[in-house]
Structures are given as structure tokens and as C-alpha cells.
Amino acid sequence: MNPSGNQSVKGRSTVSGSCELGLTTSQVPPPFSKRRNTKDVSLSWSGLWSLLPDAVAVNCLAHASRLDLAALAVASKCHRSLVASPDLWDLRWRMGCRETYFYVCLRIIPDPTPQWFILNRNRRLGPIPIPWNPYQAQESSSFVVVDRGIYIIGGLINGNLTSDVFFLDYFFHTWRRVPSMKMARACASASLVDGKIYVLGGCGEDADSSNWVEIFDPKTQTWGNWFLPKLSYNIHQSVVIEEKSLLYGVDKGHGSFYFMPSECMFLTMIKLDSKPGNRNDWCAIGKLLFCRGVRSRILWCEPDVLDWKEVKGLEYLQQSLSASRRVLLTLNPCTVQRCTPTNVKCDISRLSSNSSGNIVIFWNTHPESLELWSAEISVERRKGGEVWGRIEWSDAVFKHDPRSHSDNIKVLYSASVHV
């Protein structure tokens, strides 16, 4: 059951080849253009690259853009193999030649299958979604961004926990199944620390000291365990603080904990969250933690203190989202009186950070809207210790066809990746 092949479900299909890269055949460059004053061109692209030593060819390609590399990859198997070389991507990493993209995963209800998009330069999602994975869990998965793609871990499929793990290659936009976890999990903490993925909790009462934590090594594609005493924690939120290579979070009882893989240490703290239940989507920017609270508020705190405070300067955004709106909601299409006015309020539905160190938020204009809005917010800490935010841009990033049978758009994941 490999989702990377050609399939058709509900009238849609996954694709391979040039379509995986968002290219049409008309966008693929010709093998070689005619040169003036040259009677015969005997060298094809394959012949040209074959004359170069591998190290030289890889060095040249490391400077190319992702779009150019994608076009080259569909020209021939030889080119695709060269572009897919680990040496090329390692070199691009060391040279700083990678480009940043912002990936967003949506669930357009009632369609059960999540869809992935890239936020383009026009601040729109799409227009063409990334080939979808019909086996991806519908909700409550964990996701981790690594050098070459995104791991989607566990989740709920028709209400049942799953141990499935999938990998989205964000250069070729192909899916592949990777070894499953030992335990089925949903809403687990999954984080990349020192090159390995640590998955904590999310498995309920079936967990014990041997399986509450599982560790995945992307290089060897194998799972291992990290033994802990019997734990009953259900993790509410967690975040990686890269400077210290530690995982920090709180459990459902609002107690905090540190997890330091390099020191083989799991330490629970007496400190309780100052605003339990009022914050979600934790992210770390610099030495501070940020999250979304109720009534469209964005909160911040220092990890060692856990005293959440409101980001200043965003009052207009909060008032705009929290203001009541009178909209018409259909009651019963079989009756004469089809609609009734009602008051609804908007709120931030997803918060994350991007590669610029800014906050990115999403919201729907009202509960049954098929228009998704987003804003990017820069933050700075001023004298006196307060954190202020400034809206860099705000716009509608996705509009679904109103003729469809969909009734809501839910943002499942959002993250910056480097290609």
C-alpha cells in the first residue's frame, strides 16, 4: 500500500513525473537550443553533463534555483538521478543556496483527506495543491520538518489511533511510507532534537516505560526507545528550544517538564502554567515562547517562568477578529424561511513561526466561510521587557469554490521549509 504511485480516489488522482513538481510539459526546457554558426550540435544535455566530473557537475547545480532543478529532473532519468543526489543537497546546505517555502496543510471539510499547499509570492495558497496522500490521518497527527521533507506521525483515522508514519519529500513532492511506530499515537509530541525525532506520549494508558518515548533516526530509518519510569502524562503542548537542544512542554495537568536527550534526562518541574487551557500552538522565537490565546490574543513568556503575557500593539487585529458579525446561516432548506441572522465571532485558528522569525496566523472570516485569511507579525522586545508586535501583511490566502459541498476550512499544519 504505497501512496506514491498513481491512484484515483473520489475523482482525484495522485501523480508522478513532472506533475509531482508542479510543472507541465510546456515548462520543461528543450534539450538544447540551436546555436548560430553551428551546423550540428552533437551534445545533448546528458552528453554535456557526462563530460563533467561528478564533483564539478554537482557544484554547478548547487547554485541553481529549485525551479530550475525541478525542470532538469524531469528531462531524463540521468538528470533526475543527479538532482536527487544527497551530495547535491548537502552542498547546497553548506553553501547556503537553499530557498525558503512556507507549507500549509488544510482539511476542507467534509473531505476527509488533508491537502498540502505552498504559500506563494503573491501570498496565496496554490493555485495547484501538492499531490495528496489518501492514507494520511485526518487529524491529530504530529509533524516534524527535516532537511529533505516532512514526517507525518500517527494521528486519528476514523476516530482510531494509528502508528503509521509518512514522509513528504518537498523537492519531488512525492510521498512514501516509512517504518511505523511500535505504538499507535495521536496528539503526541514529535520534535527534532540533534538530528533525531523524539515522539513522546499520545498513546494513552497502553504506554509503559519501554514505549512512552520512541526515537526515529532519519539516517538509518529505524525506531528505538528511551526508557522512562511509568508515566501517565498526556502532553498538552511542547516546543524545542534549539539553543539548549531540549524539548520543553506542559502536560494536561498544567505541570511543566524538560526533556534533554543529550543528557539522558527527563525532568518534571513544580512550576505550573500561569494560564492553563488558554494557549495553543506553542512556538519558540529566539529565547521566548509564543502561543495563541482566547479572543484572538497572542501571548508570550520565558520558558523558565511560564508567566504568559499579551503581545502589545495588536489591539486592532484583536478587535477586528473578535467583533461580532451578523451573518445568515441556513436553518432548513425545506422550509420557506431558509435563513436567520445570527452573531458570530472569529478567532485565530492556527499560529506558527516562519524562517524570518515572525509569527504567522490563520483565521476564517466566520465559521462557515470558505475564505481563509492569514497575517505575518514581527515581534520585538522593548525596554521594560514588554513584547510588541507589528503586522507586516494581512490578506485572504485561500478561497474555495462556493459551488462545492464544503462547509469549512481547517488549518492542520503550517511550517517553513528549506529546499
Q: pLDDT tens digits for the chain (419 residues)?
A: 444 444 433 334 343 333 333 333 333 334 333 333 433 433 444 456 667 777 788 888 888 887 788 777 777 777 777 787 778 877 887 887 878 999 999 998 888 899 999 999 899 998 888 999 999 999 999 999 998 899 999 999 999 999 999 999 988 889 999 999 999 999 999 999 999 999 998 887 777 777 888 999 999 999 998 877 666 667 888 999 887 888 888 887 777 888 888 888 888 776 777 776 678 999 999 999 999 998 889 999 998 888 899 999 999 888 888 765 544 444 444 444 444 444 556 789 999 999 999 999 999 876 556 789 999 999 999 988 999 999 999 999 998 776 666 678 899 999 999 88
Separation CA 398–CA 374 (nearest Å): 9
**CATH number (domain holding residue 147):** 2.120.10.80
- Residues 170, 144 share a domain: yes
| pLDDT confidence of residue 33 | 38
- Residues 268, 139 share a domain: yes
**Domain membership flag for residue 338:** yes
- Among residues 209, 238, 273, the one where a domain terminates is 273
| pLDDT confidence of residue 366 | 66
| pLDDT confidence of residue 337 | 43
Q: Which H/E stretch holds residue 235?
A: strand 235-241
**Domain membership flag for residue 15:** yes
Total domains present in the chain:
3
Q: Which residue has the cell 476564517?
A: 364
**Domain membership flag for residue 1:** no
**Domain membership flag for residue 412:** yes
- Residues 298, 176 share a domain: no
- Residues 308, 246 share a domain: no
SS3 at position 105: strand
Q: Kindly state the cell numbers that stand for 223.
A: 525506531
| pLDDT confidence of residue 126 | 83
Query: Hey, how many other C-beta atoms are within 10 angstroms of the C-beta on 19?
Result: 17
**Domain membership flag for residue 196:** yes
- Residues 13, 84 share a domain: yes
| pLDDT confidence of residue 412 | 95
- Residues 161, 297 share a domain: no
| pTM to 2 decimal places | 0.78
| pLDDT confidence of residue 257 | 84
- Residues 290, 248 share a domain: no
| pLDDT confidence of residue 162 | 96
Q: Residue 76: which domain range?
A: 7-35+42-95
- Residues 419, 285 share a domain: yes
Euclidean distance between the first and the last CA atom of the chain, given in angstroms as a whole number: 28
**Domain membership flag for residue 155:** yes
- Residues 287, 249 share a domain: no
Query: Hey, how many other C-beta atoms are within 10 angstroms of the C-beta on 157?
Result: 19
| pLDDT confidence of residue 9 | 37
Q: How far is CA 56 from CA 63, 289, 351, in A?
A: 12, 44, 43
Contact (Cβ atoms closer than 8 angstroms) between residue 172 and residue 73 = yes
Contact (Cβ atoms closer than 8 angstroms) between residue 387 and residue 375 = no
**Domain membership flag for residue 370:** yes
**Domain membership flag for residue 2:** no
- Residues 120, 146 share a domain: no
- Residues 370, 323 share a domain: yes
Total residues found in the chain within this entry: 419
Omega prior to 127 cis, within 30 of 0: yes
Separation CA 331–CA 318 (nearest Å): 29
* 87-112 per-residue burial string, b: 16 or more CB within 10 A, e: under 16: ebbebbeeeebeeebbbbbbbbeebe
| pLDDT confidence of residue 146 | 93
- Residues 338, 198 share a domain: no
- Among residues 250, 273, 296, the one where a domain terminates is 273
Contact (Cβ atoms closer than 8 angstroms) between residue 102 and residue 414 = yes
Beta-bridged to residue 348, according to DSSP, are: none
